[in-house]
Amino acid sequence: MRKLILFFSSNAGLGYAPFASGTVGTLAGIPVFYLTSDWPWWLSFVTLLALLFLSFWIADAAGQIYGVADDGRIVIDELIGYLITVAFLPWSWSAAILGFFWFRLFDIFKPPPAGWFDKNLKHGVGVVLDDFAAGIYAAIALRLTLWLFGLAS
């Protein structure tokens, strides 16, 4: 079970990158977006909700294994944040890449309430919620960018 927790919490090992593990870990979201973007909205919603709650548990369990609640190798939260960013959009490289950059920007700067979650909730839920909040900001910015530049389909 320990190996599965560490595998999933690191997005199949991406969290072990020697630098910028959060950025590298976010890359796992691009193929997931590609594979799920044509699903019916309700299936995407249920899957995202299930992944969200599963990530709370996985991030918490991994934090206990590492002895640090928000260890840099735990990047399942980046996957959730990215998937929130691109949720319900049709697949396009524009959406995938712009979503990646918008999410990383908001995840790094952590505008409220993301920063509050990051500083005050030192367990799996807090680890994931700051990225969830960053994903919501990034989703808004992404949709505005796609619309402003005529890239929405």
Q: How do residues 119-140 score in pLDDT, each as one tens digit?
A: 888 888 999 999 999 999 999 9
What does the pLDDT read at residue 121? Answer: 81
Please check whether residue 12 lies inside any domain of the structure: no
Number of domains comprising the chain? 1
How confident is the model at residue 13, as a pLDDT? 96
> Largest alpha-carbon pair distance within the chain?
47
Domain presence at residue 18: no
**Containing domain of residue 74, as a range?**
26-148
Q: Is residue 2 part of a domain?
A: no
How far does CA 44 lie from the centroid of its chain? Answer: 15
Any domain includes 138: yes
For 31-40, the pLDDT digits (tens) are 999 999 999 9
Would you state the pLDDT for residue 73? 96
Is residue 32 situated within a structural domain? yes
Please check whether residue 74 lies inside any domain of the structure: yes
Q: Is residue 35 part of a domain?
A: yes
Residues of the chain with confidence (pLDDT) below 70: 153
Phi-psi region of 121 (alpha: psi -120 to 50; beta: other; left: phi over 0): beta
